[in-house]
Amino acid sequence: MRFKDWQKKSSEERGKIRNRFKEFQSLTGEEKQALRESREKLKQLSPEEQKRLRERFKNRAPRESQNLRQQTN
């Protein structure tokens, strides 16, 4: 992300981006590779199918990471 784009984001949005980056950094090599492969598969789908999947999983990731944090605390 370019610095100008970063400055335009609200502090809440920047915090979310930072958290996603930290979560990505904490993944193992195999997990990162699996994530890259799933992104490639998503790009190969039709736009309608991509939209349907994004809507389906829209709020899933934040809840999962929140659940993981609660389990570790």
Per the CB < 8 A criterion, the answer to whether 31 and 73 are in contact is no
Is the pLDDT confidence value at 62 over 80? Answer: no
How do residues 19-58 score in pLDDT, each as one tens digit?
888 888 888 888 889 888 988 988 898 989 888 888 887 7
Q: What is the pLDDT of residue 56?
A: 82
39: left (phi over 0), alpha (psi -120 to 50) or beta: alpha
pLDDT at 63 over 60: no
| pLDDT value at 69 more than 70 | no
Find the mean pLDDT for residues 3-30.
85
Domain residue spans of the chain: 3-72
- Give the per-residue pLDDT at 66: 59
Give me the residue label for tokens 């809507």.
55
User: Which are the contacts of 32, defined by CB distance < 8 A and separation ≥ 6?
Assistant: 24
